[in-house]
Amino acid sequence: MGCVYMGVHPGIGSRVAIKFLHPQFSHDEKIVDRFFNEARAVNVIGHDNILKILDLNVTEGHRHYFVMEFLHGRPLQALLRHNVSVPLDVAGPILLQVCDALEAAHKRGIVHRDLKPDNVYLITMKGKKNFVKVVDFGIARMTDDAGISTGKTQTGMVMGTPAYMSPEQGSGASNKIDGRSDIYSLGVMMFQLATGRLPFPGSNFGEVLIGHLQVPPPPPRSLNPLVPEAYEPLILKCLQKKQEDRYASMKELKHAIEACMDQLRISKELPHSDDTDTDTQLHPVEVRPPSFPGARTPGRATGPGSKNRISNPNARPGGARPATRPAPGATARISQPPTRLTPAPQPQQLGRAPLFAGIGVLAALALGVGGFVVLRRSDAPLASAPVRAQTEIVRQEETPVFLSVVSEPLDAQVVATWKDGEKRGAAPLSLEVPRNAKVHFEFRKSGFIDYAMDVIADQPQTVQAALKAVPRPPPPVAEEGSERRSQPEKRRKRDRAPKVPDGVVDVLGDLK
């Protein structure tokens, strides 16, 4: 949805990061609001362990942007290697800072919702390394003083990174997301740091989702016996499926980590930096005088094929673009056709009339050929633009869409049908369908009423169905008429009983 540039102040040489929203989204109010949501959220929190937003605005060309501090460091992801754990004396001080940052955010009613190692940046600060900066509050959920969400996330929309999202995020229950969802995501990071593995690996979103919703995480010590015994319960408590079973707040989790580190005699102080942790060695950047490439078309998007974190502002998009005139002094790519044709030498002199006629024919031929070549060359980019755009649309339509299906209660039998396709299974499950296909879902479970719904697969989403239990019939209640009918029967039984003389007790009759 956007691109990030590095900006250098031309006078003093200080660097900032400038995030731009792509121009094709500038007229979508929801996307613009979500783009600026990061700046608003960070400004409300104002914590040293959270990336600072310096400015936000809209250019004259209707480009939305905000300016951030430029971080010299590396993401926490750089410390992670498969099957290689990070010892608690390194991970502990980092986790405590993350707890501090998110505790401040939660007090302001802001839930990050995309906490992962890539969004925890480690920099050098005041001679200490591994100082934390939490970044990317772009999909943060903001609430007002009454705890009501001010965001526009629809129920059933999944937002976040699958490997680190909480069960309530994965099921699309956006109305249940609170600070304990970030605690779950941090628990996944704690598990990964301690074991070198994710608690719920999977080859696709559906497998990961089922792990978050149903599968208990393996004990970290079963994967890495070097995990301290006192530290393992902290990780598992963060990864509880029910929110009420996790830590109630980041502050409570921080105190638990501190107590564990004190018990293990692990220092909570950040390590000192050395020559290998200097800013220039982490991110060498050549500061050059600003270039002035001239006026550019406002609203040019960066090409989607670029893999660089810092985009080249002079790079042209790889898609279709209209033909432009060459800059002054530049060599034109299109060679001009010859303005005249040199006639072949004639063996004998012709009269004036045939000579004028021949010159006229040759001139007409030259102009015709030249004009055809110019039009052919100049129209080529314009003619190819619709073809490229049409190709991009066709590719987008051919891209399949992943749907995740969840039922409440779990294990409901699901039948999903669409044109030329069908899938059956027990929820939760995932399926891949053609983009923009209409998918019909049927849910069945013993003891519950059948449920059906239709979904348009225009984007990846979670399909959630809440089944209602079959109402049980009420217990039979004796009617007033039946009570009256039973009274004569009791009288007839008394009348049939044998008469007993006064003062004599019929013991056998009473026993009967």
> pLDDT at residue 380 above 60?
no
pLDDT (0 to 100) of residue 310: 34
pLDDT (0 to 100) of residue 311: 35
Q: Return the CA Rg of the chain.
A: 37
**What are the pLDDT digits (tens) for 436-495?**
889 999 999 999 999 999 998 887 777 888 889 988 887 776 665 555 555 666 666 666
CATH fold of 401-466: Immunoglobulin-like (2.60.40)
Mean pLDDT of the chain: 74
What DSSP assignment string belongs to 420-480?
TEEEEEESSEEEEE-TT-EEEEEEE-TTB--EEEEEE-SS-EEEEEEPPBPPPPPPP---H
Can you tell me the distance from the alpha carbon of 18 to that of 172, in angstroms, rounded to the nearest whole number?
A: 32
**What are the pLDDT digits (tens) for 388-397?**
545 555 555 5
Ranked by mean pLDDT, which of 190-194, 285-289, 294-298, 417-421 comes out on top? 190-194
Give the start-to-end residue ranges of the domains of the chain: 1-70, 73-282, 401-466
Can you tell me the distance from the alpha carbon of 425 to that of 439, in angstroms, rounded to the nearest whole number?
A: 15
pLDDT (0 to 100) of residue 294: 36
Mean pLDDT of 243-251: 95
Per the structure block, which two tokens stand in for 124? 């050098």
Which residue's entry shows tokens 């956007």?
2
- Give the SS3 label for residue 362: helix
Cα–Cα distances (Å) from 347 to 246, 272, 318, 342, 362, in that order, read: 103, 95, 56, 15, 18
Question: In the 8-state DSSP scheme, what is residue 372?
Answer: H
Can you tell me the distance from the alpha carbon of 482 to that of 218, in angstroms, rounded to the nearest whole number?
A: 62
pLDDT (0 to 100) of residue 134: 93
Per the structure block, which two tokens stand in for 35? 């783009």
Q: Catalytic site residues?
A: 114
User: What's the pLDDT band for 432 if we cut at 50, 70, 90?
Assistant: confident
User: What's the pLDDT band for 253 if we cut at 50, 70, 90?
Assistant: very high
Question: In the 8-state DSSP scheme, what is residue 59?
Answer: -
Q: Nearest to residue 127, comparing CAs of 273, 279, 278, 280?
A: 273
User: What's the pLDDT band for 239 if we cut at 50, 70, 90?
Assistant: very high
Q: Are 85 and 224 in contact (CB under 8 A)?
A: yes
41-68 burial code (b ≥16 CB/10 A, e <16): bbeebebebbbebeebeeeeeebbbbbb
Cα–Cα distances (Å) from 295 to 2, 110, 288, 299, 322, in that order, read: 21, 40, 20, 12, 15
Spatial neighbors of 380 by CB under 8 A, at least 6 apart, are none
Enter the pTM of the model.
0.58
pLDDT (0 to 100) of residue 88: 95
- CATH 3.40.50.1110 at 73-282, yes or no: no
In sequence order, the β-bridge partners of residue 108 are: none
pLDDT (0 to 100) of residue 341: 40
418-444 burial code (b ≥16 CB/10 A, e <16): beeeebeeebbbbbebbeebebebbbe
Per the structure block, which two tokens stand in for 58? 């809209």
Pick the range with the lowest mean pLDDT from 85-94, 421-430, 475-484.
475-484
**What are the pLDDT digits (tens) for 396-409?**
556 788 787 888 88
Q: Nearest to residue 170, comparing CAs of 182, 157, 183?
A: 157
User: What's the pLDDT band for 93 if we cut at 50, 70, 90?
Assistant: very high
> pLDDT at residue 497 above 80?
no
How many CA atoms lie less than 13 Å away from 143 in the CB half-sphere?
19
Q: Which residue would you say has higher pLDDT here, 192 or 488? A: 192
Pick the range with the lowest mean pLDDT from 114-118, 222-226, 461-465.
461-465
CATH number of 1-70: 3.30.200.20
Mean pLDDT of 223-252: 95
**What are the pLDDT digits (tens) for 328-370?**
444 333 333 333 444 444 444 444 555 455 555 555 555 554 5
Q: Which amino acid, residue 69? A: E
**What are the pLDDT digits (tens) for 72-89?**
899 999 999 888 999 999
pLDDT (0 to 100) of residue 465: 86
Question: Any idea what the Cα angle at residue 114 is, between residues 111 and 120, rounded to 5°?
Answer: 100
